[in-house]
Amino acid sequence: MRILKRLLIATACLCLFFPPLAHAARPTDRQFPSGSGSVENLFDGASPEFRHGSNVEIPGTRVGLALGGGGTRGAAHVGVLKVLVEAGVPIDCIAGTSIGAIVGGMYAAGVPLPELEKQFRNNRIMKAFMAPSPAVRVVTAPLHVVPYVFGKKHFDGIYKGGLLSKFLAKELPDDRKNIQDLSIPFCAVALNLVDGHVYALTKGDLILAMQASSAVPVLRRPVRIGDDLFVDGAVIQNLPVDEARRALGAHFVIAVDVDERFKKESVESFLKLGSVAKRLITLELARRDFRALTTADIVIHPNVDGIGLLSTKNQDAANAMAAGESAARAALPTIIEALQKRGIRLNPPATQLSEQSAPALSKPDL
């Protein structure tokens, strides 16, 4: 603890004193370097709540959802689902990454949307997703080295994720614990550390698959499945549009992006502690998602700016769900028009809910 405090004090001192030192030492007879930026404008800070993605239409009637990762911002997925279900938009399959896998997996298993909303509002999902709290993890991090001193080894990570497993075991129906038993075909996207490939997990233990897809590297230990070792799929594939098409056979993909918008910031905004790391995370997620956004048929992008990835504030979850509803309602007329052009009929909500709760009679060959 004493060493940790000293490190924090030293870091604070560096942050306090280095900027003025650098400013004082700046020569007056030099010109600032200049040049040109990248030509492509990948990130639009004023991007709408929804937009068309790919201009290439893949024929077929199978509608898939691609639910991206984003921690607490993933509560927006519940708002989007609520609007789509109310409108009778058919959901034939769901691909999810990280929190998108948890929301998508629970819904595909038959957990009602009001229950999902309740679990976000009372913070149970996020407490299970990230327990213990970030502050506790930082303070207790040195203690996790102790087992190695005595020869006991485990996979690298501060905590195992047992609370998430218990939460999911309690919330999921007993007869929907395997992916192939779900009434809505589903895949959880995770990165295999052994071979470096991204996997769409379409069979086997649902809880294990959701744990693997949401195992944030360094914080949570990787999940071993046989001879493979999985971490959060967001490391490589944060928005699983490709997996919705390739693994689940979706022809029309609605992607839900719950990242913050990447927009220009002032130089002074980076004087705040942690601002550079936060900016790099936003930039990296935007880069990873860019290709996926261009291959989806419809992109729904709720305005979740300002909501922290690991926020445990009830109001943040509520705001994210409201943003999801707002963005989905804005997209709805375009979605309905696109579905009608394909000859896809809307399902009345009562029909869709009854189909979700009934056991699946057949499954596509994935």
Question: What is the sign of the dihedral through the CA atoms of 81, 87, 88 and 89?
Answer: negative
Q: What local confidence, expressed as pLDDT, does residue 232 receive?
A: 93
Query: Please, are residues 100 and 68 in contact by the beta-carbon 8 Å criterion?
Result: yes
Q: What local confidence, expressed as pLDDT, does residue 25 receive?
A: 44
| Residue 30 tokens, joined | 């030099």
Give rounded-to-5 percent helix, strand, coil for the chain.
Answer: 50, 10, 40
Tens digits of pLDDT across the chain (366 residues): 444 444 444 444 434 334 443 444 444 566 667 555 444 454 554 456 766 665 567 778 999 999 999 999 999 999 999 999 999 999 999 999 999 999 999 999 999 999 999 999 998 898 888 765 555 555 555 555 555 555 565 556 676 778 899 999 999 998 998 999 999 999 999 999 999 999 999 999 999 999 999 998 878 899 999 999 999 999 899 999 999 999 999 999 999 999 888 777 778 887 888 888 877 877 777 777 777 888 999 999 999 998 988 888 889 999 999 999 999 999 999 999 999 999 999 987 754 444 443 333 233 333
Q: What local confidence, expressed as pLDDT, does residue 264 receive?
A: 75
What are the distances in angstroms from CA 79 to CA 76, 82, 247, 335, 354?
A: 5, 5, 25, 16, 20
Q: What local confidence, expressed as pLDDT, does residue 187 receive?
A: 97
Residue pointed to by tokens 């944060």: 238
Q: What local confidence, expressed as pLDDT, does residue 33 receive?
A: 72
Query: Please, are residues 179 and 156 in contact by the beta-carbon 8 Å criterion?
Result: no
Of 91, 88, 80, 64, which Cα lies nearest the Cα of 116?
80
Q: What local confidence, expressed as pLDDT, does residue 123 receive?
A: 86
Q: What local confidence, expressed as pLDDT, does residue 354 receive?
A: 42
| Residue 29 tokens, joined | 């007879």
Q: What local confidence, expressed as pLDDT, does residue 224 receive?
A: 92
Q: What local confidence, expressed as pLDDT, does residue 294 receive?
A: 87
Of 72, 204, 193, which Cα lies nearest the Cα of 128?
72
Count of residues making up the chain: 366
Segment holding 212, helix H or strand E: helix 206-213
Q: Is 347 helix (H, G, I), strand (E, B) or coil?
A: coil
Q: What local confidence, expressed as pLDDT, does residue 12 receive?
A: 41
User: 232 Cβ partners below 8 Å, 6+ apart?
Assistant: 69, 97, 98, 190, 191, 213, 214, 215, 216, 217, 220
Q: What local confidence, expressed as pLDDT, does residue 202 receive?
A: 96
